[in-house]
Structure 1
Amino acid sequence: MSRSWRCMALLLPMLLAACVPAVRMQGDAGLLDAQRVREQALAGADHWALQGRLGVSDGRDGGSGSFSWTQQGDHYVFVLRAPITGKSFRLSGGPDGALLEGLDGGPLQGPDAEALMRKALGWEVPLRDLRAWVLGLRADGGPAALSFGANRLPALLQQDGWTVDYPAWDDSRHPPLPTKVYASKPPYKVRLSIESWQFQ
């Protein structure tokens, strides 16, 4: 067998495995009840911190880096560190407005964090909904449609025009928490890979 054919023989099982679609089930009464129990258990979880990797794209350009997100009630601090340039952005705020720091032209302040990100960086990030989605919960916004995986946890959430995939969960926690959250609303994509969770 030639070397190229041996490589193909080794790669083919991996390629086929990558093509297998994730198991997704429509929510029956049992699955939806279990999700409501998760949501009730996490409803008061508004003091937490997480760290991981973030990637964003508008279909043409994008950015990525390590990030940390600290939530203290209605106040938050979100820090993104770019891997190559070493540059960092810091978004902080609460009900009274938001402050984006780390820009070449100096800090930018405004009443809406999502508008600041859009204006300064060209990134469409649904921060209000993402606060719930990152916990694997439905946001308080519009109606939501859920599909579940073989682990009986949410695999796909559709809400407010966004599609949120949950490829991985930490089910050693009670209740379980997502470790990967991929949100998309063409042409925009936001991908979070969560390495650590801390609750206060």
Structure 2
Amino acid sequence: MMYRLTSLLALSLILAACSTQPQGPIVPPPQSVSVIKEWETSGRVGIRTPDDAISGNFNWHHTPTTFSLNIVGPFGQGATKLSQNKDNTVTLTYEDKTITGQDPSQLLFKELGWDFPVQQVTYWIRGLASPNTIANIELDDEQRLKSIKQDGWLVNYSRFTDVDGLELPQKIQVSKPPFKVNLIINQWTIQ
């Protein structure tokens, strides 16, 4: 009887150990923010335009060739989805409408009146200046990133978080009057 109980316990432990083993190869974390190839963020967003103020939750998944940005208002209302596939086709879905185009920023402005520089924000959200244009970078007294001025936009950073040994923004304000976007990032996943 004791032998059966011991064998059953050992088998249970082996099965439990097997079920917790990682599936597939383990990808080491990036060594610097600039080499992050794929990332996902989620949190809260506030958008102010000349005619409106919108708040909600967001989830943004970005790869080298695609992205998907979802914004959902309080209680699941006012869902907006902006995505780009591998063929560079951009799709905007909102209020039971689906519109396609080639430039995410132009599509947002034309359809929703939101001035939001999507291509630059993919860098700014990681605490980097876009490499395509000149930027003025300001550091605080502790040599941490304080702000980026680029393409007529001011990006202020007020809080950072440690993600796999890298310091990534947690609280950001992107503004170009009369437009303003506040992001509070609750979660980062990076590769």
Question: What is the TM-score with the length of structure 1 in the denominator?
Answer: 0.74
Distance in 2 (CA, whole Å) between partners of 1:47 and 1:96 is 17
Answer yes or no: is 1:169 the counterpart of 2:153: no
| Counterpart-to-counterpart distance in 1, 2:76 and 2:161 | 32
Distance in 1, matches of 2:124 and 2:76, equals 29
> Could you say what secondary structure the match of 2:109 adopts?
helix
**For 1:29-178, what aligned pairs fall within 5 Å after superposition?**
41-84=32-75, 86-94=77-85, 96-104=88-96, 106-171=97-162, 173-178=164-169
* Displacement after TM superposition at 1:157 (Å): 0.9
Which stretch shifts more, 123-132 or 137-146? 137-146
Aligned partner letter, 1:144: A
Q: Name the CA distance, whole Å, in 2 between partners of 1:173 and 1:96.
A: 30
Q: State how far apart, in whole Å, the 1-side matches of 2:163 and 2:76 are.
A: 36
1:130, distance to aligned residue in structure 2 (A): 0.2
In the alignment, the residues of structure 2 paired with residue 151 and residue 74 of structure 1 have an alpha-carbon distance, to the nearest angstrom, of 35
**Seq. identity, %:** 29
- Counterparts in 2 of 1:155 and 1:102: CA distance versus 1, 3 Å: same
Secondary structure, aligned partner of 1:128: helix
Higher Rg: 2
Alignment partners' CA distance in 1, 2:159 and 2:50 = 24
- Counterpart CA distance in 1 for 2:162 and 2:143 is 11
CA RMSD of aligned residues (A): 1.8
Structure 2 Cα separation of the partners of residues 78 and 117 of structure 1: 12
**Letter matched to residue 148 of structure 1:** L
Q: For residue 166 of structure 1, report the CA deviation from its aligned partner.
A: 0.1
Q: CA deviation at 1:72?
A: 1.6
SS at match of 1:198: strand
Q: Equivalents in 2 of 1:101, 1:59: separation in Å?
A: 22
Q: Structure 2: 5+ residue runs without aligned partners?
A: 1-30
- Cα distance in 1 for partners of 2:110, 2:95 equals 11
| Cα distance in 1 between the residues matched to 2:178 and 2:33 | 31
Q: Distance in 2 between matches of 1:51 and 1:57?
A: 19
> Does structure 2 conserve the Cα–Cα contact (< 8 Å) formed by 1:135 and 1:177?
yes
